[in-house]
Amino acid sequence: MVSSRLTLASVLLLLGCCLGQEIGQRTNPRVAFLPVWSVLRRAHLSGSLVYSGICDFHKSPQDFPRLRMASHSGSPVEVLREMFADNPKMRIIQDSDGKIRMVETDTPTDILEVKIRHLSFPDGPVSHGPRMALRAILMTPEVIAFRRAHGIGPLDELRGGGSFAILPGDSSSGPIVSGELDDVTVAQALDYVLRTFPGFWFYESCQDPAGTRAVVFNFF
């Protein structure tokens, strides 16, 4: 297991400023993602975050498990476990290759295990950025078929609309994820993108306001 020690003075300051005003059992992801990323970045590590939420796309942002300030320095796993200590469902481990896995244990992960027979990442003038690579993964026939068979929205994405009808703002600048993959799971394909864009990918599973299961993927 890869182990890294870090001093968290600046991370603690950031958490104190950002989380001090949060109340209730959840945190706005726009507040929470940066402290999580800071822990990984300072240790030069990448990883993934899997959690359940509300996914009320029209009225509020996706909610995020509540965080607390860490009170000590330690390995990334130790610090993140303390930050997520108010959430007993959150399990944090480190893979043998160093990736940090943050997973709420009651979150359905079936879509992450879908096997993609062949994946070719786009290579062109508007193929830059991690979200273009994400589009390539989520628009594979196997992922689309799985979502349709299980009624997993947002449905406009399955029709080619919604967020997938608009190119990301960084699609024409920055690095391009290149290469082809065979017989990989969705999770393995997302990990592949981290080679070009270190950080973490996140996956949220939830029920939308109509009671339909929905999912959200992205990179930070």
**pLDDT in the model for residue 142:** 96
**pLDDT in the model for residue 63:** 66
Pair 19, 80 in one domain: yes
Q: What is the CATH number of the domain that holds 39?
A: 3.55.50
Report the distance separating Cα 208 and Cα 131, nearest Å.
22
For residue 141, the enclosing domain spans 110-193
Mean pLDDT per block of 10 residues along the chain (220 residues) reads 42 42 51 82 93 67 69 85 89 94 93 95 76 90 93 68 55 75 96 93 82 86
**pLDDT in the model for residue 45:** 94
**pLDDT in the model for residue 54:** 74
**pLDDT in the model for residue 12:** 41
Tokens 């009671």 -> residue: 211
pTM of the model: 0.79
Cβ-proximal residues to 82 (8 Å cutoff; 6+ apart), any chain = 68, 70, 71, 72
**pLDDT in the model for residue 131:** 87
**pLDDT in the model for residue 95:** 94
Report the distance separating Cα 84 and Cα 94, nearest Å.
15
**Do the domain assignments include residue 205?**
no
Number of domains, the chain? 2
Pair 163, 128 in one domain: yes
**pLDDT in the model for residue 177:** 84
Pair 183, 123 in one domain: yes
Pair 75, 144 in one domain: no
Backbone phi, psi, residue 172, to 5°: -115, 10
Pair 101, 150 in one domain: no
